[in-house]
A = this chain, B = another copy of it.
Amino acid sequence: MTSQLSVGVLMFIAARDVENRVIEAMRRAGVDDITVAQGRVAARIGPHGTRLSDLAEQAQVTKQTATALVDRLEAAGYVERVPDPRDGRARLVRFTAKGEAMLPVARAEEQQVEREWEQHLGARRMRDLRESLTLLREITDPYQEPADV
């Protein structure tokens, strides 16, 4: 085992930790029927609903995968599909009241993780980390924000 892991692996380890902790926190709060993959999609749903195709693009999975993941979230009662008034073909995926209720749990844990990271790294490093990651997103995220948000 080389003592010097690549930045990609280090990044993966940290990201994995956050995801697992958020899922765990939700389990402890009684939301135990959401998987990591479902959570990745759910986390992309905007406040007024988001198209399935947009979710797929954000999560960088195929439409079919997004369909399947949303199917499960819908079956579990966290999201619903409603027609998109701007396009007769499209549907908006939005949170149900049940879904809205779980969001604060996830958000709180994310913030808890970030506080612990900041405690470990120091405020300056944490700030720099966020800035660097935000910059990196410019070249690592294929997703392009819809023009009319």
Contacts and interface: CB of A to CB of B under 8 A. Distances in A.
Count this chain's copies in the assembly.
Answer: 2
A138 interface: yes
Give the interface SS of chain A, mostly helix, strand, loop or mixed.
helix
A62 B120 CA distance: 29
Contacts of A120: 135-136, 138-139
A7 B139 contact: no
Given A1-B46, A15-B11, A139 B125 contact: no
A100 interface: no
Interface of A: 1, 5-20, 22, 40, 43-44, 46, 50, 60, 110, 113-114, 116-117, 120-121, 125-126, 128-141, 145, 149
3 interchain residue pairs of minimum CB distance: A8-B18, A17-B140, A10-B133
